[in-house]
Amino acid sequence: LTLGGRLTLARRRAKMLVDGDTGSTSDWDDRWNHIKKFLERSGPFMHPDFEPSTESLQFMLETCKILVIGAGGLGCELLKNLALSGFRNIHVVDMDTIDVSNLNRQFLFRAKDVGRPKADVAADFINSQFHIIVCGLDSIVARRWMNGMLEHILNLSLLVYEDGVLDPSSIIPLIDGGTEGFKGNARVIFPGMTACIDCTLELYPPQINFPMCTIASMPRLPEHCIEYVRILLWPKEMPFGDDVSLDGDDPEHIQWVYQKSLERAAEFSITGVTYRLTQGVVKRIIPAVASTNAAIAAACATEVFKIASSAYLPLNNYMVFNDVDGLYTYTFEAERKENCSACSQVPSDLHFSPSSKLQEVLDYLTESTSVQMKSPAITTTMDGKNKTLYLQVINLPFKLGLADGQELAVADVTTPQTVLFKLCFTS
Ligand SMILES: [Zn+2]
């Protein structure tokens, strides 16, 4: 479905459930009765400081502005839940139409802002508009970018107040949901107070690949057979010419991989290779599971409701959900990381020997599970001038230019702000 189609579907579904197909879009008597039960009378799970009243619902209906990022399987489910919970000011950004490397420009930049730092413009825009942000994304990069943006907003507002004390009103909570097949998570982030996305980056492990020996000689799963064809057979046979690499969007390519995978599977009496699975493995698609999306969206919408109404204590702060085999959920308090590159303002130390090369730093920045950058660009200050460390120097040892204790500023698509690192020479 296109974005329009998905939104229409979500709207229609919401309408069927709420309106009873009356065709009316305005409120009718008792429309919010189901919500009022949570807000206008006390109950055992209520926030200890909350006084039941009609104010919370009024705030939700009339004032509270929510930014929902992502309008895919999870995002649309979220929109439906939020709409049914009484939120009316909902803004949606769909990542399908936005290039992650250009988030600032495409998503929040306006002509009147020419000349201002883009990250500042975006921060102002979000800060002046939204009370709560909800992410229902399948992209870790976009999620990290949004996380970095909220930290940036916080930094800017701290600069404005300059009293070093966190002003709670400057905090925009981030509710983040994620799903992958039968697994999912929902978390609540109060920037500057609780663990941010980057604090727990190790929880998003890089792509897991099957061991090569399994693929090459002991396949057990249909996926192993497809990986065999993709990794080993394609480069050997080059079925579409010497320079043609495998394109997951080319049906002829997928057809070829599919046929060869079937042969491989037959050899080892493995069943389950299908065209669809072949495409999924080649394109690294993890199938979306509607029930997982529904459960995670429900958890996220509940958190939005709790925070917007302040009637209930929010999730503290990370819930994992897994229905691969039976049902399992678990909630824990993810902890802030002292030198988190997104929320700590403390430059992380990079330990390298003076004879190391820039390439080794680049490799570290992309491969380390705690950094996981995509295409880092490094600048530093030398003789009082900002210098970009160009590709040409990546094979020269540090001792030809960089000094111990040198600060390196790194820009990457995973963050709207440059991240500072300090080079520490090891002997
Ligand atoms: Zn952090």
Those residues whose beta carbon sits under 5 angstroms from the ion ligand 1 are 196, 198-199, 340, 342-343
Measured in whole angstroms, the distance separating CA 276 from the mean position of its chain's CA atoms is 26
The Å distance, Cα 181 to ligand 1 centre, comes to 26
Read off the pLDDT of residues 114-140 as tens digits, 9 standing for 90 and up: 677 777 777 787 888 899 999 998 778
Q: Which residues partner with 318 through β-bridges?
A: 187, 332
Strands 318-322 and 132-136: unpaired
For the residues 332-347, what does the mean pLDDT come to?
Answer: 89
Residue 247 near residue 259, CB atoms below 8 Å: no
Burial class (CB within 10 angstroms; exposed 0-12, middle 13-18, buried 19+) of 320? middle
Q: Which residues partner with 91 through β-bridges?
A: 67
Q: Name the more confident of 11 and 200.
A: 200
**Sheet (strand 385-388) strand order:** 348-352, 415-425, 407-412, 377-382, 385-388
**pTM of the entire predicted model:** 0.77
The residues annotated as belonging to the active site are 213
Read off the pLDDT of residues 239-281 as tens digits, 9 standing for 90 and up: 998 888 899 889 999 999 999 999 999 999 999 999 999 998 8
The Å distance, Cα 121 to ligand 1 centre, comes to 22
The Å distance, Cα 191 to ligand 1 centre, comes to 8
Q: In the chain, what's the furthest Cα-to-Cα distance?
A: 76
The Å distance, Cα 95 to ligand 1 centre, comes to 23
Read off the pLDDT of residues 48-63 as tens digits, 9 standing for 90 and up: 999 999 999 999 999 9
